[in-house]
Structure 1
Amino acid sequence: MKNLLDRNLGTIAMPHHLPSTPMDVFSAKPETLETVRKAKVFGWWDFPLEDVGVDNPEMNANDSAYWHYASGNPITKTKQEVSEAVFQSGISAVGLPGDFETESSLTVGAAGDLIRADGLEYSKDILFEGIEDILFDTDVAFANYESVVAEDDVVKKSIVDGQSFIMCCSSTQYTALTEHRGRRFDVLNIANNHSLDLGVESLSTTQDLFLRDGIMDIGAPRSAQEYGKGKVFVRNGIKLGFVSATFSLNGKPLPTGQEFRVHTSKLMSRYVPPDLELLRAQIADCKIRGCDFIVASIHWGVEFEFFPRLRQIEAAHALVEEGVDLILGAHPHVIQPVEYYRTKRDPNRIAVIAYSLGTLTWGWYTAPHLILSLIMHLKLAKGHVGGEPRTYIESAKPNPVYRNISEEANGRFMRIQKLCDQDENGGAACAIVKMKQYATLVLGDGWAY
Structure 2
Amino acid sequence: MDKTSKGKRLCITLTVLLATGAVSFAQFEKPIPKAVSLLPVKDTVTVTFLGDMMMHSKQLEYDCSSFIKELGSITADADISIANLEFTLAGKPYSGYPAFSAPDSYAEDLASKGVDIFLTANNHILDKGSSGLRRTLSVYDRMRDSLGIRYTGSAADEESYRKTNPLMIVCRGMRFALINFTYGTNSPRESSFPRVSRMEKENVGAMVESAKKLGADFIIALPHWGNEYQLRHSKSQEEWAQWLVSQGVDLIIGTHPHVVQDSTHIEGVPVIYSLGNAVSNMSAVNTRLELAVRASFVRDSSGALVMLEPELDFLWCTLPGRLTDNYCTIRVEDYLGRRNEWIQKDDYDNMLSTLARVKEATGIGKLKAEAIERKEE
Greater Rg by CA: 1
Structure 1 unaligned regions, length at least 5? 1-85, 266-274, 344-349
1:276 to 186, 201, 221: 201
For the 8 Å contact 2:75–2:113, the answer to whether it is kept is no
Partner of 2:210, secondary structure, is: helix
How far apart, CA to CA, are the structure 2 residues paired with 1:378 and 1:240? 12
Deviations 1:259-284 (A, max 9, x none): x611113xxxxxxxxx4221111010
C-alpha deviation, 1:431, in angstroms? 0.6
C-alpha deviation, 1:227, in angstroms? 4.7
Which structure 2 residues correspond to residues 62-211 of structure 1 after superposition, within 5 A?
89=28, 93-96=31-34, 104-117=43-56, 118-119=58-59, 122-153=62-93, 155=94, 159=95, 164-176=97-109, 178-179=110-111, 182-211=112-141
Partner of 1:428, secondary structure, is: helix
How far apart, CA to CA, are the structure 2 residues paired with 1:255 and 1:402? 37
For the 8 Å contact 1:94–1:340, the answer to whether it is kept is no
For the 8 Å contact 2:119–2:180, the answer to whether it is kept is yes
C-alpha deviation, 1:305, in angstroms? 0.3
Which structure 2 residues correspond to residues 324-335 of structure 1 after superposition, within 5 A?
324-335=249-260
Partner of 2:67, secondary structure, is: coil
C-alpha deviation, 1:436, in angstroms? 1.6
Partner of 1:233, secondary structure, is: strand
CA 1:311–1:119: 2 relative to 1, 3 Å: closer
Q: What letter matches 2:98 in structure 1?
A: F
Q: Which residue of 2 aligns with 1:374?
A: 291
How far apart, CA to CA, are the structure 1 residues paired with 2:347 and 2:47? 31
C-alpha deviation, 1:226, in angstroms? 5.1
Q: Which residue of 2 aligns with 1:428?
A: 347
Q: TM-score, normalised on structure 1?
A: 0.66
How far apart, CA to CA, are the structure 2 residues paired with 1:105 and 1:97? 11
For the 8 Å contact 1:221–1:261, the answer to whether it is kept is yes
Q: TM-score, normalised on structure 2?
A: 0.78
Q: Determine if the alignment matches structure 1 residue 235 to structure 2 residue 171.
A: yes
CA 1:353–1:241: 2 relative to 1, 3 Å: same
For the 8 Å contact 1:305–1:334, the answer to whether it is kept is yes
CA 1:205–1:439: 2 relative to 1, 3 Å: same
Q: Determine if the alignment matches structure 1 residue 286 to structure 2 residue 211.
A: yes
For the 8 Å contact 1:191–1:218, the answer to whether it is kept is yes
Q: What letter matches 1:248 in structure 2?
A: G
For the 8 Å contact 1:293–1:391, the answer to whether it is kept is no
Q: Determine if the alignment matches structure 1 residue 221 to structure 2 residue 155.
A: yes
For the 8 Å contact 2:72–2:113, the answer to whether it is kept is no
Deviations 1:20-54 (A, max 9, x none): xxxxxxxxxxxxxxxxxxxxxxxxxxxxxxxxxxx
Q: Which range is displaced more, 199-208 or 418-427? A: 418-427
RMSD of aligned alpha carbons? 2.9
Partner of 1:168, secondary structure, is: coil
Q: What letter matches 2:50 in structure 1?
A: A
For the 8 Å contact 2:68–2:113, the answer to whether it is kept is no
How far apart, CA to CA, are the structure 1 residues paired with 2:35 and 2:279? 37
Q: Determine if the alignment matches structure 1 residue 361 to structure 2 residue 279.
A: yes
C-alpha deviation, 1:138, in angstroms? 0.4
How far apart, CA to CA, are the structure 1 residues paired with 2:202 and 2:67? 38
Partner of 1:296, secondary structure, is: strand
- Number of corresponding residues: 329
For the 8 Å contact 2:82–2:117, the answer to whether it is kept is yes
Q: Which residue of 1 aligns with 2:185?
A: 249
How far apart, CA to CA, are the structure 1 residues paired with 2:301 and 2:208? 22
Q: What letter matches 1:375 in structure 2?
A: A
Q: Which residue of 1 aligns with 2:6?
A: none
For the 8 Å contact 1:358–1:374, the answer to whether it is kept is yes
C-alpha deviation, 1:390, in angstroms? 4.4
How far apart, CA to CA, are the structure 1 residues paired with 2:192 and 2:232? 38
How far apart, CA to CA, are the structure 2 residues paired with 1:306 and 1:111? 17
How far apart, CA to CA, are the structure 1 residues paired with 2:238 and 2:265? 12
For the 8 Å contact 2:316–2:351, the answer to whether it is kept is no
Q: Which residue of 2 aligns with 1:339?
A: 264
Partner of 1:245, secondary structure, is: strand
